[in-house]
A and B are shown apart, each in its own frame.
Chain A
Amino acid sequence: MAAPIESPGRVAPPGRGGVGDSPVRPDGTLKVAGAFAFASDLGIDGMLWGATLRSPHPRARIVSLDVGPALAVPGVRAVLTHEDVPGSRHFGIDGLADQPVLAIGEVRHQGEPVALAAADHPETARRALAAIAVEYEVLEPVTDVRAVIADPEGNRVQPLGGITRYQPVRVGDVAAARAEAEVVVSGEFEVGMQDQAFLGPEAGLAIPAEDGGIELLVSTQWLHNDLKQIAPCLGLPEDRVHMTLAGVGGAFGGREDLSMQIHAGMLALHTGRPVKMSYNRYESFFGHVHRHPASMRYEYGATADGRLLYADVEIVLDGGAYTSSTLNVTGNAASLGVGPYEIPNIRIDAYGVYTNNPPCGAMRGFGAVQACFAYEAMMDRLAAACGLTPLEVRRRNAVSQGSRLATGQVIDSPAPLAEMLTRLEEMPLPPAADTSDLRNLPGGVSQTTHGEGVVRGVGYGVGIKNICFSEGFDDYSTARVRLEVIGGAATALVHTAAAEVGQGLVTVQEQIVRTELGVRRVTVAPADTRVGDAGSSSASRQSYMSGGAVKAACEAVRGVLLERAAARFGHRDLSLSDGKVVSRAAGVLASVEDVLGDEAVEETREFRHRPTQRMDPVTGQGDSHSQLALCVHRAVVDVDTELGLVKVVEMAAVQDVGRILNRTALEGQIHGGSAQGLGLALMEEIVVEDGVVRNPSFTDYLIPTILDMPPMRLDILEYPDPAAPYGLRGAGEPPTLSSTPAIVAAVRDATGKALDRVPVRPEHLVA
C-alpha cells in the first residue's frame, strides 16, 4: 500500500467548503436559469460581426477568388483572404504549423476556411460571404485510411504527407506465443467519428488594444497555447495578445484547436474595430476537430484457462487533413492499445494518417476510447472461447500495482482492477422494466413496442486512461494566490489561466484555498494570460495540475504568513486553523487578519508532475505516462430485437479516483462521461461520405437525452496516488472509455450479434 499522504483535514474543518466538501458551484444556478453569459453573449458598442466562408468541397484547387462583389455590399467593412494574414499563414496545436489560417490555393477538407468578412450586422456579413466569387477545380478526395497506409506517397493530401505518426509497440515474441496458444480469437473493429457536441458553439470577441495589440475574449480550453499560435499569425509579439476566458459552453477536447481566434483578430486589426464571431450549430460542426474514427484489427492468443499469451494489434486513426492532435492521439492508442491487462507478448502497430476527411483531434478519452472498444470486445470473445464469464476472464488478466503496461512502464500506484470488477459483480441488478410506462421501453413514447421482442442483456467494460500530458511534454500549471484583509476579513484571491469549461475547476480551486489557508472568503479571478500558463483543461489534468499549483502557492503564502507570525510572537510551532494562527504549545496566538494587517501576502508557483518519456519509436517502450486511471462499467439494456432499438436500463460504474475533492462534481463527471460513451455506443456519429459530412446538425447528429441516459449506480474508490496532490487521480475521462464497450457488450448479450462497429445502428441489430 502507498505511503500515507498528507491530510488536508488538519487545516480546514469539514463542512466549510474545503477539499472533500461539495460546495455549490457559482455557475450552476445561472446555467440552469439560462442567465450564464457564454462567449456567444459577448457584445461591445461599435462592434462588427465577422463571418467565415468555408469550402464546400473536401478537396479542390482554388482557381480564382474575387472578393470585389462582397466589398460592394453596403455595410461590409472588410473581406480578407490568406493574402491579408499579417504574420505566419499557418498554425497548429502541437508545434507542427500545417494548418492555413485561410486556404492558400487549395482546400483539403469540407468546411476549411477560405475567406472572412466583417460587417455592421451578422446578416450583412453572411450576404458578403455569398457574394465572394470562388472558382474551384474539384479534385478526388483521399478518404480511405488503409489506402494511405498502403501508399502514403500516392495519397499525400498535404506537404507533411500521408502518415502522421506510426507508433509500434514490441514486447516479447508474438510468433512464438502464437505457436503455444491454445485459444485464439480475432476481430476487426470500427469506431465512427464522434463529435464533442458541446452546447455552446464557438464564439468570441476581438478588440483592438491601445498598445497596438489585441484583446481576445474567447471560449477555449488552453489560453496560453492559443496565444502561442495566434501571436505569430497576427504578426504580434506574445505580450501584445491579451487573452481572457469567456463563458465556455462545454469543450470535451473540441476547443483545444483554434477556431475563430485568429480570424476575429485579423478582422479587428484590419478594421480597427471590435469584431464578434459566433458560429451557429451548422458551422460549429465544421469549426472544430472531432474524435478520430478508427479501423482496428485484433488477434489474441491465450491458454485454455483464459490467460493471455499474446496480442497482435493494428490500429488506424483517421486524422483528416491537418495534424491537430493526431501525434499524441496515436501515441495513446499505441500505449493503451491492449488496456489494463497483463500480456507477455505484444505487437501493436498504430497509425495516424492524413486524409481529406474532416480534421480530427482531441476528444475526451483521446485515442484510448477507440482501442478500448476493441480490446473489451476481444476480452468478451476470449471469455466465450474459454467458457469463462466476462468478469472472470478480465480478473485473470487484470493489471495491479507492479504490473507492466505494453510500454514496459511499471504501474507504481494502486490499480485495484480485480477488486473493482468484484465490486461491480456484487452490485444488485435492476428489476425487470415496468412496461406500464412506455418511457421504460425501447423507443419510449414513440410506442414501437408494448414489450414485444424485448430482450434484456448485461455487459461489462473496463478502461484505462493516462492522466495529464504524456511522452516527455513539460507539463505544468501556474497559480498566483494573494491573501489580504478586505473589509476586515482575510480574503484569498486565486488567479490561474486554467479554463473552467464546465467541469467545476473554479469550485475546486476555492476548496483548495480554503483547506490550505483556513480562510472562508475566496475569490477566483477570471482566467487570463496575465498569469502564467496553466496548461489545458484536458487529459483529466486540471484538478491535478492547477489544483497542485494552487496548493503549492497556498503553501508558500502560508509559509510567509507563519514566518511573520513567528517573528512577531516568537513561536515556531505554528499552524493555521480556521482563520487563526495556532501554536502547538501556546494555543491561539492571533487571527489571520491580525497577522496580515495592511500587508498582503502574494505568491506564485508553478507545479509539475513527474517527468515522462517519449515512447521509443521502434519498440514503443518507455515510461510515457505520469498517472493512470481505471473505470469499470456494467450496462443493463433492454433491446427490441425485432426493431433493433435499445433502452439502456441502468449503468453501474466503479472508479478509483484516489481522493474525492468534490463528490457532487465528481459524480457529475462520471455521469457525463458515461453518457458520452453511451452516445458513441448507440447513436453519435458524424456520417462522412466521400469527405462530405451528411449530418451537420443536432437534427441528425443525435446525442443522448434524459430518456436515453439511465440512472447510475456508482461506487467510488479512494486509493491515494502518493505522487499526486491530495492523492487524487484525474477522473473526467475514464468513464467515457468503459461505458461504450459495456453497453455494446450488453446489446451483444441480448441479440447474439457480433457488433464490431460503433455506433450500433438499428439495422445492425435486425440484419
Chain B
Amino acid sequence: MDFLRPLTWQDALAAKAARPGAVPIQGGTDVMVEINFGSAARRPEALLDLNPVRELAGHEELPDGTLRVGAGVPYVRLIAELGDRLPGLAQASRTVGSPQIRNRGTAGGNLGAASPAGDCHPPLLACGAVVEAESAARGTRLIPAADFYTGVKRNALEPDELIRAIRIAPASGPQYFAKIGTRNAMVIAVCSFAIALHPRERRVGTGIGSAAPTPLRATAAEEYLSTELDWEGRGPLPDAVARRFGEFVREAAAPIDDVRGTAGYRRHALAVLARRTLTWAWNDHRAARKEVS
C-alpha cells in the first residue's frame, strides 16, 4: 500500500488522476478505522493524504454570499468559526465522536466516505448544500448534495475527482439537527434528522441519516410543510401538523434491522425527531418575528 502525500491542491489532483484507485484521507477518522478493520487483502492500493493540502483548510464567502468551506476544515472549526451561519452543520459536527476526533475529522471526509450514518449529510441536504468536485482533466463540477449520495458508501465522484469544498448558503432561518445513539456521546447514528427553515422561500429543508442506503431528503414532508405552515402570520404550530410531518418523515425512510437498531425503532424515532425539531425551529421562527417587532 503506497502512501501519497501531495502538498498542494494541484499535486493532489495530479496524484488522483495518476492513481484513481488511491483512497483519499481527509482527517482519517473513518479511513483508518476501515483499514484497521479490513484484512490485508482488502486494503486499498494507495492512500492519498490530503491533510497537508493548505488550500482545503480554509473557508470564504463568495460574492453571492454563499459560504465555500474547504474540504479539510475540521469539525472543531466548523463549530467555532461557522456555527453562527451554519447552525445545523455545526450541531451535527458537535455530535461527531470525541474532541480528538472533531479536531481531526472533516465534513469533506464525511462526504468522501458517504456512509449513510455520516453526521454531516442530513444538514447538508436540509440546507441544499452543493459539493464542489474537481479533477485535473475536467476542472470544477458542482454536485447538489441531493445528487451526491449514490449508494451505501458510494458517491457521485468520478475516480479522478476530489472534493474541493462544500458550498452552502448561510442560514436564513432556524436549523436543527438531532441524532439517536445508544450512548450519550461518541456514538454512530442509529438514525438522525436535520431540518432547515427557509422562510424567504416559504420552504422547509430536511435530511434523514442512517435510515436508508443513502442519506436522503423527505421531500413529501417538505412539500407538506410548505403549504401547511402559517408562514405569513407565524401562528402557533398545530400539533396535528407536527405529527403529520413526523409521519411523512417516517414514511420517507427505508431503514433496516442491524446491530445498532431495528427498522421499526428507526422509523418511530425519526417521526419523534421530526416533530420535535420542527417544533423547536418553528418556535424560534416565531420568536424571531417578535424580536423584530
Which A residues form the contact surface with B (CB < 8 A)? 123, 126-127, 129-130, 280-282, 439, 442-450, 452-453, 642-645, 647, 682-683, 687, 694-695, 697, 699-700, 702, 704-708, 761-763, 766
Contact = CB atoms under 8 A, between A and B. Distances in A.
Contacts of B181: 443, 446
Contacts of B95: 445-447
Contact of B36 (A282, A702, A705): A282
A697 B188 CA distance: 12
B3 interface: no
A123 B182 contact: no
Given A445-B94, A447-B177, A644-B265, A699 B36 contact: no
Interface stretch (B134-142, B162-170, B212-220, B268-276): B268-276
A744 to B, nearest CB: 15
Contacts of A453: 272
Contact of A448 (B94, B179, B188, B265): B179
A281 B38 CA distance: 12
A104 B148 CA distance: 50
Contact of B262 (A647, A702, A763): A763
A446 B178 contact: yes
A700 B259 contact: yes
B184 A708 contact: yes
A405 to B, nearest CB: 37
Nearest to B37: A282
B15 interface: no
Given A700-B259, A708-B184, A447 B264 contact: no
A293 to B, nearest CB: 16
B185 A708 contact: yes
Contact of A444 (B176, B177, B184): B184
Given A445-B94, A687-B259, A699 B184 contact: no
14 contacts: A129-B40, A445-B95, A446-B187, A447-B91, A447-B179, A448-B178, A643-B272, A645-B182, A645-B184, A700-B260, A705-B98, A707-B184, A708-B184, A766-B268
Nearest to A648: B184
Contacts of A280: 36
Given A281-B36, A700-B259, A762-B269, A443 B184 contact: yes
Given A443-B184, A444-B185, A448-B179, 18 more contacts: A282-B37, A443-B179, A443-B181, A445-B95, A446-B181, A446-B187, A448-B180, A450-B276, A647-B184, A687-B259, A697-B33, A699-B188, A702-B182, A702-B187, A761-B182, A763-B264, A763-B265, A766-B268
Nearest to A129: B40
B285 to A, nearest CB: 16
B180 A643 contact: yes
A126 B39 contact: yes
B183 interface: yes
Contacts of B187: 446, 702
Contact of B183 (A129, A447, A683, A695): A683
B82 to A, nearest CB: 17
B41 interface: yes
A338 B176 CA distance: 49
A446 B176 CA distance: 10
B40 A130 contact: yes
A123 B259 contact: no
A452 B283 CA distance: 14
Interface string B67-82: 0000000000000000
Nearest to B176: A447
Contacts of B98: 705
B179 A446 contact: yes
Contacts of A447: 91, 95, 176-179
Nearest to B188: A699
A449 B276 contact: yes
B261 A762 contact: yes
Nearest to B36: A280
Contacts of A708: 183-185
Interface in B113-140: none
A642 B272 contact: yes
